[in-house]
Amino acid sequence: MRRRYIKRNIERELREAAEQFPVVMLTGPRQSGKSTLLRHVFNEKNYITLDDPFLRKQANEDPRLFLENAGASSIIEEIQYAPDLLSYIKMDVDRDRSFSGKYILACSQHFPLMENISETLAGRVATYRLLPFAWQEANLPETLNVKECFEKLFCGFYPDPLVHGVESGRYFSSYMNTYIERDIRQIMAVRDLTLFQNFFELLAARTGSILNLNAVSNDCGVSFPTVKRWLSLLESTGVIYLLRPYYKNLSKRVVKSPKLYFTDTGLLAHLLRYPDAATMQKGPMAGTFFENFIVIEALKHKLNDNAKVELYFLRDSNRNEVDLILESAHQHHLLEIKLSKTPRYRFAEPIKRLRPVFEKTQGTVLCFAGEHYALEKGIKIAPWTYVYELLDVITD
């Protein structure tokens, strides 16, 4: 199968960082396109992967020789397999701080390695995170109807099913086997992988909901501390995203637990065992899939452009809730996400009720409306693609 390269939005950030820092680190979910991206952007550098057992052994047993063989400028992938190598990289770059972009590092495990980096390479490394393709990145049209949109959501945004034509069901079955056998076994001693799979699927059924770990623990039949560890594992490997609640300068009565989303709707559809896009679109979680998609698109924009925007949701003690808050330069934009082609005034009610909480804010209902509709000053209904325009404006 012939593979083709599609430009990633994060390329500019990586190039600029490599001109200013001796080390650049790229993390992200397995198979999100990190290797292809780095080999394209830094094609003049020597490429090394610690997936190679011989190189992994050398990196752990003789790190000085490994770095000498790596050459003056290199890409080292799966760096999590040799965490002690970071100390030797630090000593190497400290000998000549004028050499920018000397090491480009990549891994599929964000949090465990970041702890080592914060201690070892502080001030020497620029860190980035790559998720599967964003909608605009893949040059997908913005005028799709609901049916066509759900066909893309069902396929997902990993390179193989989206770009290279791999059948999504076959792809995600293989992905799950690889993920559980490699990442789960290597990071954490999970004794019962079947139980972990059940936990994974329980989380999928709670997508878009405020996370109650006690309920998950009871339903899964594992202890609360184990559920917390497993959840951190899924977050650290980039499979899930926890959207934190907004509570700055607000009453302590607001909800403090995060909302759960999956970083890819195709994987989510696989975990929930949807056979096709039509069934997914007509199912009870259709609105949740659409909300998940929009939230993760906003996250991808933030990560790819290193944008100065924070993402939150807000629910007060009266259960008034806004799906997504974009905070930038002390301004807030409140978003409600609705899977509907027919604009309704009632869609904006949560925004109206929670808008007075903020000093400077605007609100938008994102749906499949064909055009913009002003509801009142500062609140409107817009096509869901307006989220891209909005993100560009507030982070400019």
Q: Which domains does the chain have, with CATH numbers?
A: 11-129 (3.40.50.300), 146-284 (1.10.10.10), 310-394 (3.40.1350)
Q: Grade residue 197 by pLDDT with cuts at 50, 70 and 90.
A: confident
The rounded distance, in Å, linking the Cα atoms of 173 and 159 is 15
pLDDT of residue 377: 87
Position 140 scores a pLDDT of 84
Mean pLDDT value across the chain? 88
Tell me the pLDDT tens digit for each residue of 148-173: 999 999 999 999 999 988 999 999 99
pLDDT at 144 over 80: no
pLDDT category at 189 given cuts 50, 70, 90 is: low
pLDDT at 183 over 80: no
Which comes out higher in pLDDT, residue 252 or 367? Answer: 367
Average of per-residue pLDDT across 207-213: 94
pLDDT band with cut points at 50, 70 and 90 for residue 255: low
Output the pLDDT for position 122: 76
d(CA 260, CA 272): 15
Among 63, 14, 53, 56, which Cα is nearest to 36's?
A: 14
Strand order in the sheet with 103-107: 46-49, 74-77, 103-107, 23-27, 125-129
Report yes or no: 134 and 8 within 8 Å, Cβ to Cβ.
no
Burial 310-332 (b: 16+ CB within 10 A, else e): ebbbbbbeeeebbbbbbbbeeeb
Question: Could you give the maximum distance between any two Cα atoms of the chain, in Å?
Answer: 67
pLDDT of residue 58: 95
Is pLDDT above 90 for 179?
Answer: no
Distance CA 139, CA 6 (A): 9
Task: Check if the beta carbon of residue 381 is closer than 8 Å to that of residue 348.
Answer: yes
Q: Is the pLDDT of residue 86 over 80?
A: yes
Residue recorded with tokens 């989380």: 203
The span from the CA of 124 to the CA of 326, in Å, is 30
What pLDDT sits at residue 253? 52
pTM of the model: 0.93
Give yes or no for residue 113 having a pLDDT over 60. no
Mind giving me the DSSP string for 230-261? HHHHHHHTTSEEEEPBP-TTS-TTS--SPEEE
- In this predicted structure, the answer to whether residue 47 has a pLDDT above a threshold of 80 is yes
pLDDT at position 3 over 90: no
302-339, pLDDT tens digit by residue? 999 998 999 999 988 788 899 999 998 778 999 999 99
The crossing angle, in degrees rounded to 10, of helices 11-18 and 34-41 is 50
